Amino acid sequence: MRLLVAESDPALGTFLQRGFDAEHYAVDLAANGEEAKSLAHERNYDTAILDLNLPQEGDLDLLRAVRAGRQELPIVILTNRTQPEDRARVFELGADDLVLKPFAFSELSARVRALVRRPRTADIVLRVEDLVLSRIEHSVQRAGRMIELTPKEFALLEYLMRHAGQRMTRASIVENVWHASRDSVTNVVDVYVNYLRKKVDASSERKLIQTVRGVGYLVRGETASSSDKT
């Protein structure tokens, strides 16, 4: 699952990033509104957490911009403003939930999970033939057999399955799974693909993870998706 956190307080932003990292989210941390807008439009997130300093109207531009570009993206607002009119304005502009500061991380995490579970177009369960990945349960099965993956292996498989049938370059994998520059391509992708093959393909006659010589990798096969948990 991929999460955008826009937080101007460096200490709080780092705290949230570490907390959601521990819960197996891939977290992008934006320190200001412009960075958050850019990330929201460039990448496909499951949820966005936006810190807004209400009630100044200009501070709502971030919410407007993110909602305008991503109509189905669940958005949680963090604020220390308790006035009913401020909260009403946030929901009018498209926020899905609002959490008042100070808050417990467990509460914020529970609210994010609740939003992610809401039925929407984004795939919650990915299927390629007999390979099933649940983004909510953070689980993988092949022909009914549970497969244990590390967080990075899971993120790599999820990325390949979301683009099943497409040739994904090593550069794009590094950028979207490791969140590193495309210029920093190393053999780490090849190493982790080999890890996946041993766990996903080794015991199956049909090999789903394919090498595209000179390009990168793809997951081949018939695909399907569902918003229901396995």
Using the predicted structure, report yes or no on whether residue 54 has a pLDDT greater than 70.
no
Given a cut of 90, is residue 19 above it in pLDDT? yes
CATH class of the region 125-226:
mainly alpha
Who's near 48: CB < 8 A, 6+ residues apart?
3, 4, 5, 6, 36, 40, 66, 70, 73, 74, 75, 76
Both tokens of residue 26?
Answer: 């891939």
Confidence of residue 225 (pLDDT cuts 50, 70, 90): very low
Residue 59: pLDDT band with limits 50, 70, 90: low
CATH match of 2-117 with 3.40.50.2300: yes
DSSP letters spanning 92-116: HTT-SEEEESS--HHHHHHHHHHHH
User: Is there a contact between 100 and 116 (Cβ–Cβ < 8 Å)?
Assistant: no
Length of the chain counted residue by residue: 230
pLDDT at 120: 54
Task: Say if strands 47-51 and 75-79 run parallel, antiparallel, or are unpaired.
Answer: parallel
| 36-45, 174-183, 197-206: least confident range | 174-183
What are the C-alpha distances in Å from 191 to residues 58, 176, 180?
A: 47, 16, 16
pLDDT classification of 230: cutoffs 50, 70, 90? very low
What is the rounded average pLDDT of the residues 48-77? 78
The more confidently predicted of residues 31 and 117 is 31
The pair of structure tokens assigned to 131 is 């390979």
pLDDT in tens, 72-98: 789 999 988 777 888 888 888 888 899
pLDDT surpassing 80 at residue 173 = yes
pLDDT given at position 227: 40
Please choose, from the candidates 2, 160, 149, the residue with its C-alpha nearest in 3D space to the C-alpha of residue 73. Answer: 2
The pairing of strands 223-226 and 125-128 is antiparallel
Mean pLDDT of the chain: 84
The model's confidence at residue 209, banded by pLDDT at 50, 70 and 90, is very high
Rounded Cα–Cα distance for residues 73 and 69 (Å): 9
Does 2-117 match 125-226 in CATH topology? no
Residue spans of the domains in the chain: they are: 2-117, 125-226
DSSP 13: H
